[in-house]
């Protein structure tokens, strides 16, 4: 299974000046589960089927680096559903061993075969899909979560340094 990073948030731009002694990895590890929950909730707001929402949400993971956190998608449908898909002819359908089910707008289910002849006549085009804004919203909520946790960590370190003096 191929996993690809959907986005990465670097911690250094979020740390205020003069607070460079914060243990970044500790903050990232503590906020990792909260970030994943936030990204999954953004996927649930999208207008997909319940089955697609469950599969996409389960196919998300986080990885922490030295100064960053990566959100990784493991589900193969993530690219076409979230990142979009261009309009193109579905040539792989000629390899189908069974008739292809098609649901009409009227709700009727029909079956068709994709042949090389129908492909040469310009049939079997995928209509395409526009990219979703779910990643941008998830990125914004992730940055907000990290800023909040960094402020809490700075307060904790400041208080502990004042108490120890």
Q: Are 31 and 151 in contact (CB under 8 A)?
A: no
- The mean pLDDT value for 144-159 works out to 79
Looking at the structure of the chain, the number of domains it has is 2
> In this model, does residue 109 exceed pLDDT 90?
yes
Query: Nearest-5° angle of CA 46, CA 50, CA 56?
Result: 65
Taking the model in full, what pTM does it have?
0.65
Is 96 found in the same domain as 77? no
Is 142 found in the same domain as 74? yes
Is 75 found in the same domain as 15? yes
Local confidence band at 3 (pLDDT 50, 70, 90 cut-offs): low
Residues 6 or more apart in contact with residue 118 via CB below 8 angstroms: 124
Is 21 found in the same domain as 98? no
Is 77 found in the same domain as 26? yes
- The mean pLDDT value for 110-116 works out to 93
Rg (CA), the chain: 23
- The mean pLDDT value for 93-112 works out to 91
pLDDT score, position 75: 84
Q: Give the range of the structural domain holding residue 111, as residue numbers without chain letter.
A: 88-128
Is 78 found in the same domain as 48? yes
Local confidence band at 19 (pLDDT 50, 70, 90 cut-offs): low
pLDDT score, position 1: 44
Tokens of 71: 């959100």
- The mean pLDDT value for 20-47 works out to 78
pLDDT score, position 110: 94
- The mean pLDDT value for 99-113 works out to 91
> In this model, does residue 4 exceed pLDDT 70?
no
């Amino acid at each position: 299974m191929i996993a690809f990073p959907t986005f990465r948030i670097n911690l250094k731009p979020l740390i205020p000046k003069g607070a460079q002694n914060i243990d970044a990895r500790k903050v990232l590890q503590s906020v990792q589960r909260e970030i994943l929950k936030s990204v999954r909730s953004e996927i649930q707001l999208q207008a997909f089927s319940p089955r697609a929402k469950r599969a996409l949400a389960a196919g998300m993971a986080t990885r922490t680096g030295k100064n960053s956190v990566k959100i990784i998608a493991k589900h193969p449908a993530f690219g076409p559903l979230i990142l979009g898909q261009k309009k193109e002819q579905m040539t792989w359908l000629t390899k189908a061993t069974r008739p292809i089910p098609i649901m009409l707008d009227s709700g009727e289910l029909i079956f068709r075969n994709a042949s090389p002849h129908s492909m040469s006549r310009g049939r079997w085009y995928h209509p395409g899909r526009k990219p979703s804004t779910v990643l941008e919203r998830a990125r914004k909520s992730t940055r907000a979560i990290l800023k909040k946790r960094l402020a809490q960590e700075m307060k904790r370190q400041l208080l502990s340094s004042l108490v120890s003096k």
